[in-house]
């Protein structure tokens, strides 16, 4: 991973009109951004919207807003980049949902939830393999629903911490800065959230843990 000095050098070049420096800054973080987009994309949008569409929109915004970031530098570059990517995803999803006249909400299935809570299903889908054996599909469906129920009951920050730590691979310090908590506060919330998920699933004797 590039060091802070190298990143700052590229940022300076980008602000001086070097388009290739902007592209390099973005490319270094493309895979991490793609993971968070995949996690947070509404399930009903996945047939209409691709992560590359979101990344393209985010790239345009990064190029446009970079000079302002340089003036303020209130957070590390990747966290700023992440905020833009999440905003770009939400903007695109709102446009698609509006264009489809809310058809994304009409099917009664696991995906029929507000777009802002889309990560509940995606998180549950990612976590389910940690609680069940790979060949028990019926049990996996039940576990997924239990995980969804537990995630929906969580405070938003607790759910966000699980997502950011497990699947975005953010550090405790990065999560603390994004959410506005101390490092110890993040760790306490993370531990509590995982314990609640384990209790929700493993409390059922019919569920097998790997």
**109 has pLDDT over 50:** no
Distance of CA 193 to the CA centre of its chain: 17
State the CATH number of the domain containing residue 128: 1.10.10.10
Question: According to the model, what pLDDT value does residue 72 have?
Answer: 85
Under DSSP, the state recorded for 49 is -
State the CATH number of the domain containing residue 32: 1.10.1740.10
Alpha helices in the chain (DSSP H): 4-15, 19-28, 30-40, 51-72, 77-99, 118-127, 137-153, 156-166, 172-179, 183-202
Q: Convert the pLDDT of each residue in 191-208 to its tens digit.
A: 999 999 989 887 754 555
Give the C-alpha distances (Å, rounded to integers) separating 30 from 9, 27, 33, 55, 161: 19, 5, 5, 8, 21
**83 has pLDDT over 80:** yes
Structure tokens at 15: 């602000």
| Minimum mean pLDDT range among 14-18, 21-25, 115-119 | 115-119
Domain that holds residue 52: 4-105
User: How many Cβ atoms are within 10 Å of 45's Cβ, its own excluded?
Assistant: 20
47 plus 14 within the same structural domain: yes
- Which of 105, 137, 168 is the endpoint of a domain? 105
**77 has pLDDT over 50:** yes
Four-point Cα dihedral 165, 166, 168, 171, nearest 10: 30
91 plus 120 within the same structural domain: no
Determine whether 79 is exposed, middle or buried from the number of CB atoms within 10 Å of its CB (0-12, 13-18, 19+). Answer: middle
76 plus 13 within the same structural domain: yes
The answer to whether 193 touches 162, Cβ cutoff 8 Å, is: yes
């Amino acid at each position: 991973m590039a060091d802070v000095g190298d990143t700052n050098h590229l940022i300076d070049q980008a602000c001086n009109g070097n388009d290739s420096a902007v592209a390099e800054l973005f490319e270094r973080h493309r895979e991490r951004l793609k993971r968070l987009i995949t996690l947070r994309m509404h399930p009903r949008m996945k047939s209409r919207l691709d992560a590359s569409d979101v990344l393209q929109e985010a790239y345009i915004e990064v190029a446009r807003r970079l000079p302002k970031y340089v003036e303020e530098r209130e957070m590390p570059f990747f966290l700023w980049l992440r905020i833009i990517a999440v905003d770009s995803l939400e903007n695109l999803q709102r446009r698609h949902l509006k264009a489809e006249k809310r058809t994304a909400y009409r099917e009664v299935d696991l995906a029929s939830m507000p777009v802002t809570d889309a990560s509940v299903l995606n998180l549950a889908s990612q976590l389910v393999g940690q609680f069940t054996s790979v060949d028990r599909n019926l049990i996996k469906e039940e576990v997924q629903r239990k995980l969804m129920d537990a995630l929906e009951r969580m405070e938003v920050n607790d759910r966000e911490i699980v997502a950011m730590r497990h699947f975005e691979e953010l550090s405790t310090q990065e999560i603390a800065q994004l959410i506005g908590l101390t490092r110890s506060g993040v760790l306490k919330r993370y531990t509590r959230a995982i314990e609640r998920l384990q209790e929700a699933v493993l409390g059922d004797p019919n569920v097998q843990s790997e």
